[in-house]
Amino acid sequence: MNVDELVAIDVHTHAEVSADGHASLSDELAGASAAYFKGHARPTIPETAAYYRERRMAAVVFTVDAEHATGHPRISNEEVAESCAAHADVLIPFASVDPWKGRAGVREARRLVSDHGVRGFKFHPSVQGMSPDDRAAYPLYEAIEELGVPALFHTGQTGIGAGLPGGGGIRLKHSNPMLIDDVAVDFPELRIILAHPSFPWQDEALAVATHKPHVYIDLSGWSPKYFPPILVQYANTLLKDKVLFGSDYPMITPDRWLADFDKLDIKPEVRPKILKDNAARLLGLL
């Protein structure tokens, strides 16, 4: 990957369908998410690579392993890693391991990094049905910290399950970013990314990222025109080296995100940090 030739690094994109057509979510949850985001395409990983290559961008790609809570089989982490390796000029593989898998999950995480080149891990506490500060997840965090790769946590409200009876069983409380503060304390060398503007807990996310030196924030899942003013203020100042471009593709396209980001009052010297430089440093691409 030639970082100098890239205009941006998108740290938050989804592998929503496998090569054999298996979806990352059940039909019910996927339908609720599509309705929440007013519909979106479901590209394969090679199609995602072509999309980003055309735009001279790189993208972090992952799925979500929530088999324990949902009963729905995940897309294979190995498939994500191998597909990204085939398009290594633009794609960066993250994995997802359900923290309920215990020691088996720890072994898998180590194998995915050592044998498959995985560069980080994605957690979705609400969909996985576990608060991030649950001690059952700690052996997995310990392994990820030792492996030296980042852990990305969904925070705030989610479109998954939105509008379904009982929210499809998805509990929003697990995605309060303050629950990740304990993780940042107990694993002080673990690089943590708080995904999304963390509605309704934006202030909590900013507090944790400001206080803990290895906690970052990605800006995915929302059009920048809806960012709360305090998020823009911190991105411009105290967190200018710790805020990352993320789109949530394919739910939100980078085209739309970047067009709206252009209209934000972001300092000229901060824009390249958010769009590429901070992510390149965090992911070890420099």
Q: What is the pLDDT of residues 45-74, one digit of tens each?
A: 999 999 999 999 999 999 999 999 999 999
Q: Quickly count: other Cβ atoms within 10 Å of residue 188's Cβ.
A: 10
pTM (2 decimals)?
0.95
Return the pLDDT at 42. Answer: 82
Return the pLDDT at 39. Answer: 59
HSE-up of residue 107 (Cα within 13 Å, Cβ side): 4
Average pLDDT for the chain: 94
* CB-count burial class (<10 Å; 0-12, 13-18, 19+) for 189: exposed
- How much is the average pLDDT of 188-211? 98
Return the pLDDT at 280. Answer: 98
* CB-count burial class (<10 Å; 0-12, 13-18, 19+) for 267: exposed
Residue 240 has pLDDT above 90, yes or no: yes
What CATH architecture applies to the domain 3-282?
Alpha-Beta Barrel (3.20)
- How much is the average pLDDT of 154-178? 93
Return the pLDDT at 162. Answer: 86
Higher pLDDT, 20 or 206: 206
- In angstroms, rounded to a whole number, what is the distance separating the alpha carbons of residues 131 and 180? 9
Higher pLDDT, 27 or 147: 147
Domain positions in the chain are 3-282
**Cα distance from N-terminal residue to C-terminal residue, the chain:** 10
- How much is the average pLDDT of 85-109? 98
Return the pLDDT at 38. Answer: 66
Cβ-contact 45, 78 below 8 angstroms: no
Share of the chain above pLDDT 70, in %: 97
The stretches of 37-124 forming alpha helices (DSSP H) are 45-54, 67-70, 77-85, 102-116
